[in-house]
């Protein structure tokens, strides 16, 4: 294993270099190596879609839920342009994608987005990780969760509340 760069020229602290032990990323077709970290097992246990991507929308890792939905193997995904692989968009980005905002602010971005094509509400989140690829690209944790049932339940509750308020209004003020 190579030495860490601890020179004053480095703009990354020692704690931010851990990804050298965790990830190896080379251009297109590269693989990620997880050196006994178990991180892939953890991400694979999540039932929603998880990706690690760089600021250029390049996929560094996809969990099992994502790989299963896309019907692709990890080596087919790594280094690919996320909007193309996931949304079949050649250039540009998916309308609900929060990556640019997360890159600009270096803060987490969470959005609820209605995907008309799928007819689903999605909670789309992007989190800066504070880690970099060996090529110096920032790594972002991207998760996508189907929240359609949650949104439907909220709408039903709002309707019930509205009906309840109408009933109360019809009752008028109670006699004194």
Residue 99, classed as helix, strand or coil, is helix
The answer to whether 170 touches 162, Cβ cutoff 8 Å, is no
Chain centre to alpha carbon of residue 77? 15
Whole-angstrom CA distances from 107 to 16, 149, 176 are: 16, 28, 56
The answer to whether 158 touches 67, Cβ cutoff 8 Å, is no
Alpha-carbon radius of gyration of the chain: 22
What's the number of CA atoms in the CB half-sphere (13 Å) around residue 9? 2
The answer to whether 121 touches 150, Cβ cutoff 8 Å, is yes
129 DSSP β-pair partners:
none
Q: What is the pLDDT of residue 115?
A: 87
Q: What is the pLDDT of residue 4?
A: 40
Q: What is the pLDDT of residue 173?
A: 60
* CATH fold label, 14-147: Beta-Lactamase (3.30.450)
Helices (H) and strands (E) in the chain, counts: 7, 5
Q: What is the pLDDT of residue 26?
A: 41
Q: What is the pLDDT of residue 92?
A: 83
The answer to whether 85 touches 70, Cβ cutoff 8 Å, is yes
Closest to 12 measured CA to CA, from 115, 138, 128, 113: 138
pLDDT in tens, the chain (176 residues): 343 443 333 333 333 333 433 444 444 444 444 433 577 888 899 999 999 999 999 999 999 999 999 999 888 888 899 999 988 888 888 877 999 999 999 999 999 999 888 899 999 999 999 988 888 889 999 999 999 999 999 999 999 999 988 888 888 765 55
The answer to whether 67 touches 74, Cβ cutoff 8 Å, is yes
Q: What is the pLDDT of residue 36?
A: 36
Q: What is the pLDDT of residue 27?
A: 40
């Amino acid at each position: 294993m190579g030495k860490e760069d601890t020179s004053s020229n480095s703009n990354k602290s020692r704690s931010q270099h851990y990804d050298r032990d965790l990830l190896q990323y080379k251009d297109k077709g590269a693989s990620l190596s997880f050196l006994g970290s178990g991180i892939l097992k953890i991400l694979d246990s999540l039932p929603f879609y998880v990706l690690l991507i760089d600021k250029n929308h390049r996929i560094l890792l996809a969990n099992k839920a994502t790989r299963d939905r896309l019907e692709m193997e990890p080596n087919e995904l790594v280094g690919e342009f996320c909007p193309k692989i996931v949304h079949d968009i050649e250039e540009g980005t998916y309308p609900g994608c929060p990556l640019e905002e997360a890159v600009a602010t270096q803060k987490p971005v969470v959005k609820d987005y209605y995907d008309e094509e799928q007819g689903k509400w999605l909670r789309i989140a992007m989190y800066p990780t504070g880690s970099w690829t060996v090529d110096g690209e920032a790594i972002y944790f991207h998760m996508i969760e189907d929240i359609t049932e949650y949104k439907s339940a909220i709408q039903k509750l709002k309707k019930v509340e509205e009906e309840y308020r109408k009933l109360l209004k019809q009752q008028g003020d109670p006699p004194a």
